Each structure stands twice: as structure tokens, then as C-alpha cells.
Structure 1
């Protein structure tokens, strides 16, 4: 196995998470300082999600035309240029376009980076090494806002640091091989419906985790404040969910190399269902802290195991195509999760966030126990 390449690609994608963790809140804070309202800031925040949907369609074609390593480097440099222009051209309409470009180019980076990692790793180590990547990315996103706090939000240092990080990520990939070989036509973004029919549990798990991640940082603090928690304590509770997601992915990956992965996948769904249902009842008790850890860990485990199960089955352009479908499903989850939860919170129940997560987890559990739920991965070698 090419260990140097694995760590280089993993580091490059983790750097993207750190750059996003700095840039995304900085853009929102800058718009607020300019006097823009919540709707305008929300529209700006939604542009990368639209970019995800577009970028997933373009990834296979770009990799087929330019090759996977070259496409990754070009997209990282394009993202760096777009972030730099956020500093040089402070215009709301232009920022909308630049955020769209950032969403498109970084989606290509995620799809090809995760495909490259899955192509490289040996199956006996797949669980641990994919989980190591997931842990690193989650921690990088968590460190981004902390780094922004140290840099300050008044100046443009955060934008320039993010641009520099993205350039450094492109340089890390120089001289490395073993990337998926991609046919531009066969790895285009077509075939999402077939992917969902063949792997319904994996498809729904990706949508569910995307909705979870979008809601945790945006709507969970609001939910906790409305339930009477002080702002500082609410943020600590949100951080507990994120830390649970990051810290327990490696144990989940270790288990994935020792027990049947489909069984572990189902267990994560059951734990997510139980923890979601427990939140309203235990919210004002000391038991809420382990529940929040399990809430984050089980949701993160669904995504980690989705990547592992896809990686053990597909190679080359089929792997890129599968990861492009995952990116499309991610974009759908990011769009639908906060919208549906926000509407339900306003008009149905104040506990809509954990209840909708429980409903989604119940749907996953039902799909995961259906015959043929993993038909596309059944032939691959399983641990345990």
C-alpha cells in the first residue's frame, strides 16, 4: 500500500475542512457587519449546497479529461482563487457567484479525494483508515472556528489563511499516484436512481447524515436556547455532539475491520434512533451528556460506514461515480434537513429536530433490515 500517498491525500482533504471552518463563519459575520439580514445571509450560506449538486455532476467528466490528481490540484487552486477574491472584491452579488464556485470545486475535491483514499487502502485496513480520514476531517472543521477566534474577524487574515491552506493542499498531491482511472462518460453523474435502488440503506444514510451535520451547527443551538439553556452551555452541548462524532469514528472503523460491516451499520442506525428519541426526555438531566455523544457518534458512523461499504465494492470510474452519487445525496440532505426541521419547529413542535432525526433513523433501520438492502456489496469480502 502507498502510505505516503494515503497521508498526502488525506491531509489535502483535511486542509479543505480547516479552510471551510475558517471561511464559512467569516463570510456570515462579514455580511452581518455590512447590515445584511438573515435571509440574505441564509441565501449566501445555501450557495455551496447548490454547488455540491452541480459539482457532483461534473466530477467524473473532469477526472476523465484531466486525470484524478490533476483535477484535484486544479480544483484546490480554483477554490484558493475564489477565497482570495472574496477579500479583493467585497460585493454581495459577486460573493454569491464565488461561493457557488467554491461549492462546485470543493465537491470535486471531496469526491475524488475520498475515491482516491478508498482505492488505495487494503480491505483489511479499510475501516480504520477511512475512519481516520473521517476523524481528521471532523476535527479540522471543529478547529476552523477556533482558529478564526484567534485570528479575529475584523480583518481579512482568515480569508488569506484559507487561500494559503488550499494552495498548500494542492502542493501536497504533487508526485503521487494510485488514483482511480476514470472514463469521462461512464463516471458522469448519471444513474443516481439506480444507485439508490441498489443500495437504499446507504443512500438514505448519506442523506440522513448530511441533514444531521447541517442541522447540528445551525439549528441545534437554537433548539437548546429555546429549551431554556444559556448560550454558553448550549454551545458546549453542540460541541459535545461534534466531539462524539469525531472521537468515536476510529473505534467504529476498528470494529468495521473485525465484525460484519452491515451488522455494525444497522447498530449505528439503532443507536441513532434511540438517542434521538431520548433527547427530549433527558434534555434537562445529567444523562443528556452521554446521549449527545452517542447521537453524534452514531450519525457520523453511518457516513463512515457508507464510505467503507462503497469502497469495498467499487474501483476506478465506478468508485468515482458512486462517490459522485453520495455527493448528490449529501447536497439533497443539506438542503432538505434544515428546511424541514425549521418549518416543523415553527408550526408543529419545539422538539422537531430530535423527532425528525428519530423518524429518519427509523426509516434507515427499516431499510437496513430489508432483504437486498446491500445487494451491491454482498459479494465483497467481509471481515469477521
Structure 2
């Protein structure tokens, strides 16, 4: 079944879409660098995988905290200015990694980084859906996803170039994010639209009305964080170099970035829920296949397929959010997505890390793939229930 385009239509707000994509790319560069780099640095210092997972969980805690504050903040400060403030906060948080070596300072910086990127994440999603018509929604979501994945791919490239021994990579990234904040200010002045304000209590109302979209984001988050946080350590423990572990994250993200515009086309031309189910199945099976592959090339190919498929779940959820909701519900939906991402990413980093500690490195990707397949089964069950309800109504 193809997606039906509604009658209401308008010209896309190009300046707003550009500001959103530029801002979320900076967020992705920061996350793409910090997850593998922090994991590798802490592993090099002899920190246990459980504590590395705890540090990653601090980032997720920051994401969750921001979701409960975004409604209040959006009523006090205009949305585009909040995005700029989030970018500046990211730059300041990254500078802490470059300046201090204390594990607990890094936990605090990781929490602060999570708060700031969550604000960018939520308001950017809402602004994107406000700025584009539904006939282009899948493709614009695909471009948004491509920018995010491109950032994920670019971030880890700083590790082979600058190493893990000093804070130069963090400092360079802080300067880059500050420059993006300045560019976002320029673009936002040319925009015709703004992110909507969130109504009080709208987050939980949205979560009750759209559980399937929440599960899509949760499946993506679990796979995403398991891949960029636990998998670099998995490769190092199997004897691969730190450079290979870092490059694997770029290989994860680059095919994902290239695939998202195509995924967006499928979302506009075919069944959006069908694309989500296929993506979840492919992501889970690719994860499980990794421990059984021998050559580096085969591992990286499976890693790339898994990344493209898992991120497609997020692109599907973002497109369906804009299709089914509007106004202040968009911010509430984006906040619910961020909360689901925070909870599931914390589970992904800590659970997979603990499984690797308790059993073996190979158990990590198998466990991650099994969780993704289970969440995909939940999505399928929800779709079947929807079809049964529609059949009862029409009969």
C-alpha cells in the first residue's frame, strides 16, 4: 500500500531545513567522535567495560533530563535560539574532555553533552516537520538522516588522525561546533518557520497515542549505541587495532548516510510501516552475523548494512511523526523520541558491555541483534492489531 499525500501543501522552508540539517550534523559529529574515542581512551586507561558503559549512560541520562525540560524551555525561549544555545553548550562540554582527565569530570561532561544534544535533537526534528510538506517528508527526513549519519562517519576519523593520547580531537571538535552555532544563527534569520512550543504534559500523552513509533526509536537507539560504544571495544578485544575499531564506526555511518535519501524515497512512494519492519529485521540479522564472519571486509560490510538498516527505523519514525501529528505535538513527539532514545541507548551500552564482560566478546553483538529482532516483532504485532481494528470498523 502506498502512502497517500494529503491535500494541504506548501513550499518547503529551505533556510529552516538547512539550519536543521547543519545543526544535527554537528550533533552527530560530536556523538560519532565521543562514543568510540571515550570508550577507547578509558579502555586504554584500564577502566572496566562496566564503568565505560556507565560513562556512556551519563550521556543517556542527559538526554532523558532534557526531555522533561524542553517543554518549559520552549515556552521561555524561541526554538531556533534554543538550538543555538544547545550547540554552544556542546562546544563547552567538549572543551571539558580536552582539559581534564578525571573519570568523574568526564561523566559530568558526558551528562552535560547529553542535555545539549537532546535539545538540538528534539527541536530540530520538530522544526523539520514544520518546515516541509508531507509530499516531501520522507525525502527530507532522509536528507536529515544523511546529515546525521555523515556526522557520525566524520567524527571517528579524527581518532586515526589525532590519536587517543591527548585532548586535541575534543578541542578541535569544540571549535567546529561553535562555528556551526554561528552558521545556524545566520540561517535561522532567513527562515519562515519556527519550532512549535510544547504543551504541558504533551510528552506522556503522545507516548500513549503512538507506542509503535516509540518502539521504532528504541530499536534504533539500542542498535546504534551498541554499535558505536560497545563494538569498538569488541574489535580491540578480538585483537584488531584501535584504528580499525575507529574506522569501523565510520564504515557503520557512511553507508547509512548514503542510504537514507533512498529510504526517504521508499517512504514517500511505498508503505512506511513496511519499510520499518524490513529495516528492523535486516538490522538484527546483520548484528548476529558479525561474530561468525572471519575477514575484516565481510565484518565491515555487515556493519555497514546493520547501520543503514537500524537508522532507517529512526527515519521511518520521524516521517510517520510528521505525517500523523502537527503543531505542539511535534515537539512532544520529538521529546518522546529523545526519551526513548535515552532509555534504550543506556540499555544498549550497559547491557551489551555487561554481556561481553560476563560471557565473551562474541556474545555482545548476538545479544544486540536479538534485542533488535524482539523489538521488531513488537512493531509487527502492533501493525497487526491496527489492521484488525480497521477491519472490525469497516465490517
TM-score (norm 1): 0.83
Write the deviation string for residues 14-45 of structure 1: whole angstroms up to 9, x where unpaired. Answer: 12222344455565666678x57336555433
Task: Give 1:61's aligned residue.
Answer: 72
Is 2:293–2:299's contact at 8 Å kept on the other side of the alignment?
Answer: yes
1:111 is displaced (CA, Å) by: 0.6
Is 1:22–1:144's contact at 8 Å kept on the other side of the alignment?
Answer: yes
Is 2:153–2:249's contact at 8 Å kept on the other side of the alignment?
Answer: no
How far apart, in 1, do the equivalents of 2:303 and 2:234 lie? 14
How far apart, in 2, do the equivalents of 1:18 and 1:365 lie? 28
Task: Give 2:148's aligned residue.
Answer: 137
Q: Which of 196, 204, 219 is the equivalent residue of 1:181?
A: 196
How far apart, in 2, do the equivalents of 1:88 and 1:353 lie? 32
Q: How does 1:298-309 map to 2 (within 5 A)?
A: 298-309=309-320
1:256 is displaced (CA, Å) by: 1.1
How far apart, in 1, do the equivalents of 2:231 and 2:164 lie? 23
Is 1:367–1:373's contact at 8 Å kept on the other side of the alignment?
Answer: no
Cα distance change of structure 1 residues 83 and 281 upon mapping to structure 2, 3 Å threshold = closer
Write the deviation string for residues 101-125 of structure 1: whole angstroms up to 9, x where unpaired. Answer: 2211221111101211121112111
The alignment status of 1:257 with 2:272, answered yes or no, reads no
* Bigger shift: residues 110-119 or 149-158: 149-158
TM-score (norm 2): 0.81
The alignment status of 1:166 with 2:177, answered yes or no, reads yes
3-state SS in 1 of match to 2:381: coil
Is 1:201–1:364's contact at 8 Å kept on the other side of the alignment?
Answer: no
Task: Give 2:9's aligned residue.
Answer: none
Q: How does 1:95-114 map to 2 (within 5 A)?
A: 95-114=106-125
Is 1:199–1:374's contact at 8 Å kept on the other side of the alignment?
Answer: no
Instruction: Name stretches of at least 5 consecutive residues in structure 2 with no aligned partner.
Output: 1-11, 391-395
How far apart, in 2, do the equivalents of 1:154 and 1:270 lie? 39
How far apart, in 2, do the equivalents of 1:156 and 1:226 lie? 24
Write the deviation string for residues 263-297 of structure 1: whole angstroms up to 9, x where unpaired. Answer: 21122123234434544555569765654433222
How far apart, in 2, do the equivalents of 1:66 and 1:233 lie? 43
Is 1:198–1:373's contact at 8 Å kept on the other side of the alignment?
Answer: no
How far apart, in 2, do the equivalents of 1:61 and 1:373 lie? 37
Is 2:225–2:345's contact at 8 Å kept on the other side of the alignment?
Answer: yes
How far apart, in 1, do the equivalents of 2:169 and 2:262 lie? 33
1:135 is displaced (CA, Å) by: 1.4
Cα distance change of structure 1 residues 149 and 123 upon mapping to structure 2, 3 Å threshold = same
The alignment status of 1:316 with 2:304, answered yes or no, reads no
Is 2:42–2:52's contact at 8 Å kept on the other side of the alignment?
Answer: yes
Is 2:196–2:330's contact at 8 Å kept on the other side of the alignment?
Answer: no
Q: Which of 347, 351, 362 is the equivalent residue of 1:340?
A: 351
1:336 is displaced (CA, Å) by: 1.0
1:13 is displaced (CA, Å) by: 1.7
Is 2:219–2:280's contact at 8 Å kept on the other side of the alignment?
Answer: no
- Please provide the CA RMSD for this pair: 3.4
Cα distance change of structure 1 residues 99 and 230 upon mapping to structure 2, 3 Å threshold = closer
Task: Give 2:17's aligned residue.
Answer: 6
1:306 is displaced (CA, Å) by: 1.1
Where is the helix percentage greater, Structure 1 or Structure 2?
Answer: 2
Query: Number of aligned pairs?
Result: 373
1:329 is displaced (CA, Å) by: 0.7
Is 1:207–1:330's contact at 8 Å kept on the other side of the alignment?
Answer: yes
Write the deviation string for residues 165-215 of structure 1: whole angstroms up to 9, x where unpaired. Answer: 23222222331341222145254x444xx61x5433322221121111111
How far apart, in 2, do the equivalents of 1:29 and 1:369 lie? 37
How far apart, in 1, do the equivalents of 2:40 and 2:372 lie? 33
The alignment status of 1:204 with 2:215, answered yes or no, reads yes
Task: Give 2:47's aligned residue.
Answer: 37
Cα distance change of structure 1 residues 363 and 306 upon mapping to structure 2, 3 Å threshold = same
Is 1:62–1:184's contact at 8 Å kept on the other side of the alignment?
Answer: no
Q: How does 1:360-379 map to 2 (within 5 A)?
A: 360-370=371-381
